[in-house]
Amino acid sequence: MPDISFLRKNVRGIKGVFLTKEGEVLDVDVELDKDVKYLSKSISYLIEVICDKKGDVRKLSIVGNDRFFIFFHDSYVLGVMASPDVNVPLLNVVAGRMLEHVEVPKAEMEQIVQKARDEVLERLSDFIG
């Protein structure tokens, strides 16, 4: 099973993470454990409507007191709750790499995430311009 804890370990400001595949909750690292199934179904309906009208979606973000990011890759959905000061470029790269390699072994995933994190931090000035 994929290990989503790498995201919390490598990106500061993450409050919670969940991962689903085809609507089934695979892993939850959030306090709203009971609400994830409902949230997952709501996201599925929302994406269905958006895709019908606009085509494929790779990421959604909702901004309020906190930030909620939803990343999509094939049949996987990665939901991330984060504080307002989260490093969004870093989150985008690390979450994207995690989803691209979601089925690799844990040790390999750790290397992939660390490499993605290092790449972003090396080019940080490019991101914040």
Rounded Cα distance between 31 and 105, Å, is 26
DSSP state of 66: S
Question: In the prediction, which pLDDT does 79 show?
Answer: 92
The separation between CA 61 and the C-alpha centre of its own chain, rounded to angstroms, equals: 10
Top CATH class of 5-128 equals alpha beta
Cβ count within 10 A of residue 27: 16
End-to-end CA distance of the chain: 38
Instruction: Spell out the per-residue pLDDT of the chain, length 129, in tens.
Output: 567 777 888 889 999 899 989 888 888 887 666 677 778 788 888 888 887 777 778 888 888 899 999 999 988 999 999 999 999 988 998 898 888 888 888 778 778 878 887 887 787 666 565
Q: Distance between CA atoms of 99 and 104, rounded to whole angstroms?
A: 10
